[in-house]
Structure 1
Amino acid sequence: MTTSSHRDNFFQTSASLDEQQRKDAKSQNSNGNPIRLQSKLLAIHPDPKSQNSIYVAQSSGVIRRVVLDTGATSALYKGPTAPLTSICLSADGKLLFAGCWDKTVWSWDVASGQPRLKYEGHSDFVKTVTSARLNGEDLLITGGADAQVLIFNITTGQRIETFKGHARGIEDLILDPEVEESDALIFSAGSEREIRQFKIFGGGDSAEPLLPHETSIYKLFFDQDGDLWTVSADKTAKCLVRADGWKPNISLEHPDFVRDIVVHEAGGWVITACRDEEVRVWNRSTGELHHTFSGHFEEVTGLVLLGSTVVSAGIDGTIRQWSLRPDQLQEAVALAKAEPAVPEEEEPSAENMLTEEEERELAELMDD
């Protein structure tokens, strides 16, 4: 049992102290060539104008454009004083949007970094944002912890539609890439097991909700075949097949909540981000785990695929890059197999009978 006389350790359990020591030790690793920032990274988004840059949303209330080769910040977008949860760009790439804990969506001019309109209407945190140009109109689509999906005219800032089919907060939104503009369809998922579909023009639910998971769904991703990949707090990632009425044909089992997913079409890989700090590479055809990239020392919150490189961001404030090039991935697999096995954890003693989940909840309370 770990003991300490340091005042910062008062009222912490031995397990939480051991966990902090583990994270402190792991934080020194250089896996994935980490770019270290000063606050938690809550979202990541590709830069459509550069394969060498990404945008990250930080808990400090800023959006940062980071150059991956050097780790330098090439642009900083400021204004909010609350954490930013999500990022998207306008269809023409000239405006940057971010959902915020202050219940609004902020926007900036990408080139100048100057703030533009704020979009208001949610009564709780804005959790997800996306945009599209449909029927000649630039639209911003947002989902909040208030269980609402809102649609705004980007130019005027006017709210033009509200959808209220969900019972709990929205975690992610994505447009169906296979549907014509006039029938534009948005898929939404959140802190319940339902995935809903809303027709943007004509309003309302267009079909019965999909129920692929047992609980919260964090991310939605369409692959090139038009099939829908989903990840959940039930510790699975699934592929819902369009041609089979959105029935799942594959389920990838994880040891903890799955937070994000991307598909590398050329290599036949599915890559997932997990709350257990790991980035996993799965064989798309067989569903077998091929490799685990280990480097983050806190929850991985987001993934971006740039060519054959997966870029991950995490609560640990680091951006990391993992190669899917056949030779480099094979080398990573070989190195992992050569590493000594980690000894199994001992059974909890009578002095510490809290479950893992109880330990985590207590640690989060102490952080708060």
Structure 2
Amino acid sequence: MDDIPLIFDPVTGNYHRITRAGEVVLTYLDGTRTRDDLVAFFSRDDGARAEALARQIDTFLAALDNSGLLEGSEPPDTPQNGSRVRTSMLMPRIILTRSLLPRVLEPLAAALRAMPAKPLVLIAVLGALCGYAFGFHTLFTATPPPQNLAGPAFLLATGVMLLYVLLHETAHAVVAQTLGTPVRGLGVALLFYFMPVAYVDRTDAYRHRGRGGRVLLAMAGILSDGWFCALSGVVALNSAGLLRDTAALLLGMQLLMLIINLNPLMPSDGYTALEAAIGLTNARGRAFALLRHSLRRQELPAHLANLSKAARRVHMAYGLFSVAYVCLLAYAMLRAIPVTVDLALSAVGR
């Protein structure tokens, strides 16, 4: 990825970033050499150099072992083809299907590959921007009275929004399939254990060489949402009664979805696109690991201990802002529960 070597573990399906020096050492881990053989080979009988190399090789081998990458070491995660339920990254996830999407989407992806890429992307971006502008202008200038948004309008808007979310995730899958890195599965998750979201597992986007393609893959859902936002705006302006109320409420939901998807303080599409654009890898993971080890007063692992003081401060600040944002979001959602319950109850006449 961006010429950074990665180890792919076929047992868990995980990727592990390594250094160029680590990549060289890996070529000698063929089962015929001991740890002492490696130290002697790389130090070339230089005693002073051998001591420093021994520490570096020990650290590298320990990291491989902890990641389950050495013969006989325990895998740290659920195997890729194991249970459909996973709880890593503070996000319980349930995979609904692993193989359906790539098979269904390949004909469409093949047709997209045959088209000129740059004009296609330009049309998608401009259409999304115009769609958002038109839809949200309609939301703020032609919104019906709040009492009209309760009852059936709320239920209908919620149902359509679930469909939009599915199409949002399908857009990611289409781009991934077009780039030759099919998604691993489609599922649902509870972000930080309280926010339900749909998702597609696009881990293998790391295999795509080129930041532009990975940025487009991350933004595909947001771009598709812009087109659907325009559709909601057209319906809201050219209808009346229940249909208009439903479309207006749907525009409000789409605005909230855009804010969440662009937020760089969460594992959102905006964060993923930012990572791809500037070449970061797992900045959130490092930030939360630093916070966790600092609070527990634990020794930092090698990949964190090697960060400069300035980089540590930036990661710590980012982690603290992320935690604060999640707490604010959780508070807002808790405050919104009574309103949501009232809207749902009004739909059934209670």
Which protein is richer in strand relative to its size? 1
Which protein is richer in helix relative to its size? 2
Greater relative contact order (Cα < 8 A, sep 6+): 2
Task: Point out the structure with max Rg over C-alpha.
Answer: 2
Give me the TM-score of the superposition, normalised by structure 1.
0.24
Give me the TM-score of the superposition, normalised by structure 2.
0.25
